[in-house]
Homo-oligomer: A and B are copies of this chain.
Amino acid sequence: MKAKVYVTLKPGVLDPQGKAIQHSVGLLGYDGVADVRQGKYFEIALDAGLDEARARETAERMARDVLSNPVIEDYRVEVE
């Protein structure tokens, strides 16, 4: 099974890296870019022996405890 984890900064948390990208693309001539926010993306391959519920639980736990900082970040998990 494969899990995808998306980690994003919570709304309101300053994202200097996103702001730097936004500023740069403005200088490069891209129009209409109102905001850029950068997050992280993880693809987790799980052993085929795990059923979907177990795979989701493992991925959720990893996302919460290891891959994100719950003080400033949100996460989203997809299992397929």
Question: Which residues of A are in contact with B by a Cβ distance under 8 Å?
Answer: 6-8, 18, 21, 24-25, 28, 30-47, 49-50, 54-55, 58, 61-62, 65-67
Q: How distant is the Cα of A49 from the Cα of B33 in the complex, in angstroms?
A: 11
* 10 residue pairs from A and B, CB less than 8 Å apart: A7-B41, A8-B43, A28-B65, A31-B47, A33-B44, A34-B46, A36-B42, A37-B42, A39-B41, A39-B42
Measured between C-beta atoms, what is the minimum distance from A21 to chain B in Å? 7
* Selected contact of A44 from candidates B7, B24, B36, B43, CB within 8 Å: B36
Contact B45 A35 (CB under 8 A): yes
The residue on B at minimum CB distance from A1 is B32
